[in-house]
């Protein structure tokens, strides 16, 4: 059993895996580490396992999906943590894990107020608090607690659907909470505000299977409607991901995810 930084295998000295396991140990998160075909840290106290995936690896997306499914049958939630994500979003990864483990401070949504946020404010908040950073959006709202921005949700423009007359849908693109905090009822409050403001027929969103099975959306009344296949990405010189096109240079590094889940909340 590995519970401290000194217990981490010497083979991982000065590697990203060493840094990650040391980060767990320094926060007194007890884990067992299994280095076989996969490199997995098991945190039995939380029924969570974290598979550490090198950028250069021998795995297929199908293998990673099967690993998740196998652990799920044992009652274990397995996360795929990629090397590029850890190196570029170290703080955000630890924020996400603390939230997952229930170690955050809690703010009640009813004590917050909703205000529109501008693009610079939104971009800064998402880049600091969301694993995937910021992305273009049409509508941007923030939750403020004691005049401090503690959560941001961004949405697409309304989209007319062809299956019904006057049926308009909107996408929840990003939702992030200030690192170290959880907001009870925060996302629900933002969605209700959006419904009042724009009156869409539904809200749709996606959950990244590397990290989530969409449980938080299901609790809010979302329904899972489809499973999307894994996506492949190319890493640029800053280790930022861009969606892979049909052609890429031989010296470019390729990574992938384990797919995503599509959810819809109908009003």
Query: Quick check: 1 pLDDT over 80?
Result: no
Contact call for residues 132 and 144 (beta carbons, < 8 A): no
Distance of alpha carbon 194 from the chain centroid:
22
Residue 58 binned pLDDT confidence (cut-offs 50, 70, 90): very high
Give the pLDDT of residue 9.
Answer: 54
Query: Quick check: 2 pLDDT over 60?
Result: no
Query: Quick check: 252 pLDDT over 90?
Result: no
Query: Which fold does the domain 105-266 belong to in CATH?
Result: Aminopeptidase (3.40.630)
Residue 17's contacts (CB-CB under 8 Å, 6 or more residues apart) are 39, 52
Mean pLDDT of 187-202: 97
Evaluate the CA torsion angle 7, 8, 10, 14 in order and state its sign: negative
Residue with tokens 């996969």, as numbered in its chain: 38
Query: Quick check: 24 pLDDT over 90?
Result: yes
- This prediction has a pTM of 0.91
Give the pLDDT of residue 212.
Answer: 96
Summarize pLDDT for 140-170 with one digit per residue, the tens. 999 999 999 999 999 999 999 888 878 999 9
Give the pLDDT of residue 12.
Answer: 55
Which of 38-52, 93-107, 244-258 is predicted least confidently?
244-258
Top mean pLDDT of 5-9, 33-37, 242-246 is at 33-37
Residue with tokens 């009003």, as numbered in its chain: 267
Contact call for residues 153 and 174 (beta carbons, < 8 A): yes
Dihedral angle of Cα 51, 240, 154, 105, to the nearest 10 degrees: 50
Length of the chain: 267
Measured CA to CA, the distance from residue 172 to residue 211 in angstroms comes to: 17
CA angle 126, 132, 134 (to 5 degrees): 40
- What are the Cα distances from residue 103, in Å, to 29, 47, 95? 11, 14, 9
3-state secondary structure at position 191 = helix
Which of 158-172, 222-236, 252-266 is predicted least confidently?
158-172
What region does 199 belong to: left with phi over 0, alpha with psi -120 to 50, or beta? left
Longest Cα–Cα distance of the chain, Å, equals 64
Strand partners, 171: 204
Residue 35's contacts (CB-CB under 8 Å, 6 or more residues apart) are 9, 11
Name which residue leads in pLDDT, 99 or 237.
99
Query: Quick check: 203 pLDDT over 90?
Result: yes
Give the pLDDT of residue 250.
Answer: 59
pLDDT averaged over every residue in the chain: 92
Domain ranges of the chain: 5-100, 105-266
What percent of the chain is predicted at pLDDT more than 90? Answer: 85
Measured CA to CA, the distance from residue 102 to residue 21 in angstroms comes to: 19
Q: For the beta carbon of residue 239, count every other beta carbon within 10 angstroms.
A: 16
- Select from 3.40.50.1360, 3.40.140.10, 3.40.50.2300, 3.40.960.10 the CATH code of 5-100: 3.40.960.10
What percent of the chain is predicted at pLDDT more than 70? Answer: 93
Measured CA to CA, the distance from residue 106 to residue 109 in angstroms comes to: 9
Give the pLDDT of residue 253.
Answer: 87
Give the pLDDT of residue 249.
Answer: 59
Residue 247 binned pLDDT confidence (cut-offs 50, 70, 90): low
């Amino acid at each position: 059993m590995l519970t401290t930084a000194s217990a981490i295998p010497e083979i991982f000295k000065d590697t990203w895996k060493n840094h990650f396991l040391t980060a767990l140990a320094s926060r007194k998160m007890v884990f067992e580490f299994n280095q076989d075909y996969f490199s997995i840290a098991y945190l039995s106290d939380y029924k969570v396992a974290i598979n550490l995936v090198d950028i250069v690896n021998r795995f297929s997306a199908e293998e990673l999906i099967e690993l998740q499914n196998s652990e799920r049958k044992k009652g274990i939630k397995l996360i795929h943590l990629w090397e590029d994500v850890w190196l570029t979003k170290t703080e955000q990864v630890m924020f996400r894990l603390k939230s997952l483990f229930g170690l955050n401070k809690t703010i009640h949504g009813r004590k917050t107020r909703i205000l529109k946020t501008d693009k610079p404010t939104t971009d800064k908040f998402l880049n600091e608090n969301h694993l995937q950073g910021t992305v273009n959006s049409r509508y941007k709202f923030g939750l403020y607690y004691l005049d401090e921005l503690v959560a941001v949700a961004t949405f697409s423009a309304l989209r007319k659907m062809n299956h019904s007359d006057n049926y308009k849908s909107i996408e929840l693109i990003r939702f992030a909470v200030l690192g170290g905090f959880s907001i009870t009822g925060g996302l629900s409050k933002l969605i209700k505000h959006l419904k009042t403001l724009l009156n869409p027929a539904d809200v749709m969103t996606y959950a990244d299977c590397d990290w989530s099975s969409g449980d938080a959306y299901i609790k809010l009344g979302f329904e899972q409607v489809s499973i999307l296949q894994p996506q492949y990405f190319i890493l640029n010189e800053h280790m930022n991901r861009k969606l892979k096109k049909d052609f890429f240079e031989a010296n470019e590094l390729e990574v992938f995810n384990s797919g995503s889940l599509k959810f819809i909340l109908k009003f």
